[in-house]
């Protein structure tokens, strides 16, 4: 469709092509007949691998095809209709899922809280919970804390930072959900294991993304708490998210873990973002909005430079919410150094055109 | 995973491998970067093709990954919470979707009605609507009629039969939904065009399946009525069913239509079912439960024969609801005559063992 | 408003005036200031009285203003969205509440079952549960059994009949709800205590009506199972059913129990119905549809007689669902023997006009 | 129950006794039999009176028994599940209804916005709507603006202030809801007619409270926009809020309008609040938080004075949300000057005890 010229697409990991390992996984799984609805070898093998991957013997995994679904099913199983979900005011569940958590929890409310650079502030969480009217029927009851790692600002929580927040949540009886759409990038950023970034730090239910790591579209709800499992299973089916041909999801989830693909892809993407941010930051008038710890770069830049990038065919999130003049560039497994340098070069052109 | 011996899997079309054309479509679409969320060429092209396919200029299409999702989103957009959905008592939405239509309509009720061989009886529909308490707030209000074609009994509605039902529905102000999980098989069975089997016969919203035709998993909600489009669009997103990498769904939907793949696969599957039903019906003690018009065969057979089939590794739906001793065999694009004959042969063995 | 002539209104207990004891209760409670939302003496006293009334130390009571609310909140607290509620096909929750149980349970499904004269058939319940696909995510999961006593046919379950049904339900893990809109009439009919008709026979949550016993409108959800209490409390508030000035509800609930008002009113209403049924049944062409055990009379009668009654200003439920030519007459605390005889007299006129 | 000594209860209007006119209305309506479910003379008469009261020929009224219900049904009928409701961050629907609007709208979201002294800031509303992502499926869609008059800070919107806000809302296609729990107090405060404060200023649906004006508990949803009426009617029933014996609600609604009772009670309550606020403000260390325009007084006062009031048996909302050391006193039709002076006297005692 597109000319074979270099594509400067930094809009989202989801605009990238699918990584060959996922293509191979899917094609390899396409042999003969296989029972549907998870009673097949691929899903079973992936579930076994997940237990090793997370060093957790009794986790339950539920694959679906979108991150919005994974988050909404997880939160729907964790929170009663009269509950609240504490999250960062910039969380994807709050800003970009059209109220999916509200739908799946039958009307629970999200409570957006503050925190610098995308990380929820423990003080903000504590303050909210201290003033919450627990046990008062006129008031919705705090029931879950939802963290996002990588955060929406492209920063990464360390296990210690997660633990600090989940300790507060658990003290008040809340369950903890983690939106791990970019879980691999976070793990690469802070050099922590999947276990350290999840249940060992107090996460009860994780939604683990592989889509942004290069798969066709597989997200997995991983429950470390047995009490949520029944609701998760029925809610997945009831919301139309149990796909029939699960083997193709199981095979991709397996490929994600095999040969450290998840980590390699994340490291590459993070490194591209680091180089991109350095290149952009070296230009006059460009300012990084957040520390670049993962594969996302948020910058403020002169309007002329932004226009030059758009004219040059560069794709990125312009005027990214909520601040105007703040733009988002995302790198993926498929982003090449050539592309990064090309983008910087176009931006430099924009800088050059500016009155000094 | 499986030995390369012949697999006798007649459990569901969804246990079949994916047809090579869909594999090719997906791999071909995996070139370079492409905008996510439908703003890409594959979805746009599929939408154009759909308009030709259905001879309808203003239809709107919404791809998702499961049939349950497609049905639930369609009905959720068509029916208010205080509405009812009239359907056959054996409809998939009634028996196998864990209440997804109830979830997506926020508590609307399904009214299961009778009809022979899976086809809703126009008399039953008329009688229900005649006695419905329209305008009485104590009573849920009939709002949609849902038909399934192929029916759950493997029979096919003709355009005329559909029209008879939709006329009744429209007379009372109901919208009409069609569950077309096996739409291609129905079209092949009655030699009708997609348009004849849908909007030309009064269908307002169709859920068109490609999964059972051999794709990885693409179902499309096709709205012929503009008034439903806004709700459809938001409900799809809100329920987590707008996948990010839509190009792979669009490419498969295109492949379904290209070169009459949909029709070829359906005709093959239907023919295999015909041969299977003839072979089984020729055995002593075997009785066909429903006319075999599509790719499904429902039979009653001696218990000994059933056991022999199970022991012989044959997969099928044993004691298929709601009647015990009623079994379902499904053929797909991947079912070979060799497999059909092998199954009949095993069944014949079971027959031979019986006391004459 | 109405002329002081005799009113022949047998349409519903709810068309009766409010009994003077309830008027007195409300006026007596209207002294000075009182804390709102149940932190007042009237509700507290009623709750204490309820524990004696039901011989149950730990029941929790939740007053609301309609029976539909009481049923829906009860079932909403007992049943998850993926659950089903087994009930008689003629139950009020199924036929007359516009899907309130579906709304409050966020889409659970009601399964209407058969049973003669309004009583659920234990065999029908057993059969449904035997075939239910427990643990299969494609299928909604049976979670509650809902009984109505008096039944919608005006018959009464004995404690033994209740026990037989609740034993089946509990064996399969279902909770048991009882719609007791006419609980007093049932108790009067079978000479059983409130305890015998509820928790001692296996009822987990009862909705106890006082409205049809002559109050302004107070219905009480009585939970004998602690596990439902939190959900009940929040669901009542969240659905707008926690009234601020609870003292007036508490006072009426107290009046219901005081001096056996509940029983006296029920006995009177039942006796009026008995006399009415005998009088009508003695007329030519009149047939009782159900045994008259409480305060409702269901009859088939010649069309001419029906017309004569209507012309004579008699109010009753004509062509009561679902059978045409079946009519319902209801007696209440306010029905006098004079009214009963006057109605019979009008009906006799209708009979006399008929060709013999 | 309480000794006949003077009660110093300023906690809420709802702790007051019911005004004699409402008691008389209820007792007067309790004559003979009357059709249930609104097909009776009292509701019909009240509806006629409402049309004169609001100078609006085609309004539709729906009585219920709580303000939470009235608000939730109104908003549920106005807003789709994927909609948002803009309101003041201190609105009752946001802080005290346990998520009822979320339940009745099936998961719509409330967007709390700022504004001084309880009045929504037109700038805040404009800014939110300017940045709202209309037509983007990832984002919930602004659909309704909800105003509260009296505001939760006890101030009153003038017709002009309402108009300014509703103009903005309508420009963006939003419907406008007004929570009029204290509508009469607002009308008294700004000397405007009911019409001026509602539809003439752009309000589409009003929830008109009589409970805080001294009734037993009647709130009325008044729809000035026909398009909402069907949903309102079914949602009221479906949520269990259509009471059977409507005549007692209709009679109270009538009494509210008769002889300007609504206005007299509101003027009295407002005047008591004025005197209370003046008395308190004259004490050392006492500061009014908001202008006192209606019947509510918000003050900051020395802790010792607060303690003295509590010890003296005074009831009021201590540490009223969200600010600690901010207390709310409410006057009603039943508040006497004697009570006001007695409270001021106790407060003065507290002041006297303080170190000067």
How do residues A133-190 score in pLDDT, each as one tens digit? 999 999 999 999 999 999 999 999 999 999 999 999 999 999 999 999 999 999 999 9
Report CB contact under 8 Å: B99, C107.
Answer: yes
Can you tell me the distance from the alpha carbon of B264 to that of B20, in angstroms, rounded to the nearest whole number?
Answer: 13
Band of residue A1 on the pLDDT scale cut at 50, 70, 90: very low
Contact D265, D184 (CB under 8 A): yes
For the stretch C72-84, pLDDT in tens is: 999 999 999 999 9
Average pLDDT, chain A: 96
Give residues with Cβ within 8 angstroms of D301, minimum separation 6. Answer: D280, D283, D285, D286, D287, D325, D327, D347, D350
Smallest CA–CA distance, residue C227 to chain D, in Å, is: 20
Average pLDDT, chain B: 96
Q: Where are the alpha helices (DSSP H) in chain D?
A: 20-29, 41-53, 67-78, 92-95, 100-104, 122-131, 159-171, 183-190, 229-238, 247-257, 261-281, 303-311, 337-352
With pLDDT > 70 as the criterion, what percentage of chain C qualifies?
A: 97
Q: Residue by residue, what is the 3-state secondary structure of A178-205?
A: EEECCHHHHHHHHCCCCCCCCHHHCCCE
Report CB contact under 8 Å: D234, B138.
Answer: no
pLDDT computed for residue C355 by the predictor: 60
ipTM: 0.96
Residue B19 tokens read as: 């047809």
Can you tell me the distance from the alpha carbon of A332 to that of A214, in angstroms, rounded to the nearest whole number?
Answer: 8
Report CB contact under 8 Å: C81, A237.
Answer: no
pLDDT computed for residue B5 by the predictor: 76
pLDDT computed for residue C320 by the predictor: 85
For the stretch A212-233, pLDDT in tens is: 999 999 999 999 999 999 999 9
Report CB contact under 8 Å: C106, B109.
Answer: no
C95 touches D at CB < 8 Å: no
Band of residue C220 on the pLDDT scale cut at 50, 70, 90: very high
Closest CA to B137 of D61, C72, D234, D62: D234
Contact A235, A62 (CB under 8 A): no
pTM above 0.90, yes or no: yes
Quick one: which H or E segment has residue C38? none
CB nearest to A99's CB, from D81, D97, D322: D81
Residue C74 tokens read as: 């009860």
Chain D's closest residue to A68, CA to CA, is: D138
Q: Where are the alpha helices (DSSP H) in B244-336?
A: 247-257, 261-281, 303-311
Mean local confidence (pLDDT), A65-91: 98
Give residues with Cβ within 8 angstroms of B183, minimum separation 6. Answer: B149, B150, B194, B197, B206, B208, B209
Name the 3-class secondary structure at C317: strand
User: Residue C211 has what DSSP assignment?
Assistant: G
Name the 3-class secondary structure at A317: strand
Report CB contact under 8 Å: A98, D109.
Answer: no
Residue B3 has pLDDT above 50, yes or no: no
Sign, Cα dihedral of A220, A225, A230, A235:
negative
Task: List the end-to-end C-alpha distance of chain A, in Å, as a whole number.
Answer: 40
Chain A residues whose CB is inside 8 A of the B72 CB are 239-240
Find which of B72, B137, B221 to mutate to test the D interface (most D CBs within 10 Å of its CB).
Answer: B137
Closest CA to C243 of D64, D91, D214, D77: D64
Can you tell me the distance from the alpha carbon of B109 to that of D211, in angstroms, rounded to the nearest whole number?
Answer: 35
CB nearest to D242's CB, from B137, B234, B237: B137
pLDDT computed for residue D4 by the predictor: 47
Residue C247 tokens read as: 């003292």
C81 touches B at CB < 8 Å: yes
Instruction: Give, in degrees to the nearest 5, the angle at Cα C171 between C170 and C173.
Output: 60
Q: How far is CA A173 from the centre of its chain?
A: 25
Report CB contact under 8 Å: D7, C32.
Answer: yes
Can you tell me the distance from the alpha carbon of A184 to that of A266, in angstroms, rounded to the nearest whole number?
Answer: 6
- Cα-flanking dihedrals φ and ψ of residue C244, to 5°? -70, -45
- Stretch 118-147 of chain A: residues touching chain B, C-beta under 8 Å: none
Report CB contact under 8 Å: B236, D138.
Answer: no
Mean local confidence (pLDDT), C196-202: 98
pLDDT computed for residue D355 by the predictor: 60
Find which of B89, B96, B101, B102 to mutate to test the C interface (most C CBs within 10 Å of its CB).
Answer: B102
Number of Cβ within a 10 Å radius of residue C164: 17
Can you tell me the distance from the alpha carbon of C301 to that of D122, in angstroms, rounded to the nearest whole number?
Answer: 66
A1 touches D at CB < 8 Å: no
Beta bridge partners of B63: B220
Chain C's closest residue to D93, CA to CA, is: C238
CB nearest to C106's CB, from A81, A138, A234: A81
For the stretch B219-241, pLDDT in tens is: 999 999 999 999 999 999 999 99
Find which of B209, B245, B251 to mutate to test the A interface (most A CBs within 10 Å of its CB).
Answer: B245
Can you tell me the distance from the alpha carbon of C215 to that of D243, in angstroms, rounded to the nearest whole number?
Answer: 12
A109 touches D at CB < 8 Å: yes
Chain C residues whose CB is inside 8 A of the B14 CB are none
Band of residue B355 on the pLDDT scale cut at 50, 70, 90: low
Can you tell me the distance from the alpha carbon of C252 to that of C243, in angstroms, rounded to the nearest whole number?
Answer: 14
Instruction: Give, in degrees to the nearest 5, the angle at Cα D108 between D104 and D113.
Output: 115
Report CB contact under 8 Å: C140, B98.
Answer: yes
Chain D's closest residue to B80, CA to CA, is: D231
CB nearest to B96's CB, from C81, C82, C138: C138
Report CB contact under 8 Å: B109, C95.
Answer: no
Sign, Cα dihedral of C37, C41, C46, C47:
positive
For the stretch C112-151, pLDDT in tens is: 999 999 999 999 999 999 999 999 999 999 999 999 999 9
B41 touches A at CB < 8 Å: yes
Mean local confidence (pLDDT), B267-294: 97
pLDDT computed for residue D68 by the predictor: 98
Closest CA to D187 of D317, D272, D295: D295
Place of tokens 């560069």: A314
pLDDT computed for residue B325 by the predictor: 79
Smallest CA–CA distance, residue C29 to chain B, in Å, is: 33
Name the 3-class secondary structure at A175: strand
C268 touches A at CB < 8 Å: no
Beta strands at B83-88 and B109-113: parallel, antiparallel or unpaired? parallel
- Stretch 279-338 of chain D: residues touching chain C, C-beta under 8 Å: 315, 334
Find which of C36, C80, C234 to mutate to test the A interface (most A CBs within 10 Å of its CB).
Answer: C234
Smallest CA–CA distance, residue D140 to chain A, in Å, is: 5
* Percentages (nearest 5) of helix, strand, coil residues in chain C: 45, 15, 40
Smallest CA–CA distance, residue B25 to chain C, in Å, is: 31
Q: How far is CA D215 from the centre of its chain?
A: 14
B234 touches C at CB < 8 Å: no
pLDDT computed for residue C354 by the predictor: 62
With pLDDT > 90 as the criterion, what percentage of chain A qualifies?
A: 94
Cα C265 to Cα A151, B223, C257, C270, C293: the distances in Å are 66, 57, 11, 9, 15
Chains within contact range of chain B (3+ C-beta pairs < 8 Å): A, C, D
For the stretch A109-131, pLDDT in tens is: 999 999 999 999 999 999 999 99
Chain B residues whose CB is inside 8 A of the D238 CB are 81-82
For the stretch D147-163, pLDDT in tens is: 999 999 999 999 999 99
Chains within contact range of chain D (3+ C-beta pairs < 8 Å): A, B, C
Residue A356 has pLDDT above 70, yes or no: no
Sequential DSSP letters for D287-345: EESS---SSEEEEE--HHHHHHHHHTT-B-BTT-TTSTT-EEEE--TT--HHHHHHHHH
Chain B's closest residue to C110, CA to CA, is: B109
Burial class of A52 by CB neighbour count within 10 A (0 to 12, 13 to 18, 19+)? exposed
A99 touches D at CB < 8 Å: yes
pLDDT tens digits in sequence order for chain D, 356 residues long:
344 478 999 999 999 999 999 999 999 999 999 999 999 999 999 999 999 999 999 999 999 999 999 999 999 999 999 999 999 999 999 999 999 999 999 999 999 999 999 999 999 999 999 999 999 999 999 999 999 999 999 999 999 999 999 999 999 999 999 999 999 999 999 999 999 999 999 999 999 999 999 999 999 999 999 999 999 999 999 999 999 999 999 999 999 999 999 999 999 999 999 999 999 999 999 999 999 999 999 999 999 999 999 999 999 999 887 667 799 999 999 999 999 999 999 999 998 876 65
- Cα-flanking dihedrals φ and ψ of residue B312, to 5°? -80, 10
B211 touches A at CB < 8 Å: yes
Chain A's closest residue to C239, CA to CA, is: A82
């Amino acid at each position: 469709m597109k000319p074979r010229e270099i594509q400067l697409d930094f809009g989202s990991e989801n605009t990238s092509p699918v990584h060959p390992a996922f293509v191979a996984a899917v094609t390899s799984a396409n042999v003969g007949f296989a029972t549907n609805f998870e009673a097949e070898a691929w899903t079973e093998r992936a579930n076994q691998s997940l237990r090793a991957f997370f060093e957790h013997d009794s986790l339950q995994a539920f694959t679906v095809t979108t991150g919005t679904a994974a988050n909404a099913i997880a939160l729907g199983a964790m929170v009663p209709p009269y509950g609240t979900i504490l999250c960062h005011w910039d969380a994807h569940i709050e800003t970009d899922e059209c109220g999916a958590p509200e739908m799946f929890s039958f009307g629970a409310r999200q409570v957006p809280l503050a925190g610098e650079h995308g990380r929820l502030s423990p003080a903000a969480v504590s303050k909210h919970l201290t003033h919450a009217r627990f046990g008062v029927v006129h008031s919705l009851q705090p029931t879950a804390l939802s963290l996002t790692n990588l955060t929406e600002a492209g920063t990464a929580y360390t296990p210690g930072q997660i633990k600090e927040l989940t300790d507060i949540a658990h003290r008040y009886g809340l369950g903890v959900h983690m939106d791990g759409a970019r879980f691999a990038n976070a793990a690469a950023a802070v050099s922590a294991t999947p276990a350290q970034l999840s249940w060992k730090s107090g996460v009860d239910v994780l939604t683990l993304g592989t889509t942004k790591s290069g798969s066709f579209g597989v997200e997995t709800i991983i429950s470390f708490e047995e009490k949520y499992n029944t609701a998760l299973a029925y809610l997945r089916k009831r919301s139309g998210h149990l796909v029939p041909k699960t083997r193709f999801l199981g095979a991709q989830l397996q490929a994600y873990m095999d040969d450290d693909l998840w980590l390699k892809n994340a490291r590459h993407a993070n490194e591209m973002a680091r180089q991109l941010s350095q290149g952009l930051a070296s230009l006059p008038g460009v300012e990084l909005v957040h520390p670049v710890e993962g594969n996302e770069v948020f910058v403020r830049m002169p309007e002329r430079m932004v226009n030059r990038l758009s004219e040059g065919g560069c794709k990125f999130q312009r005027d990214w919410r909520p601040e105007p003049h703040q733009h988002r560039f995302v790198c993926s497994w498929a982003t090449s150094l050539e592309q990064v340098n090309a983008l910087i070069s176009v931006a430099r052109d924009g800088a050059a055109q500016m009155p000094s």
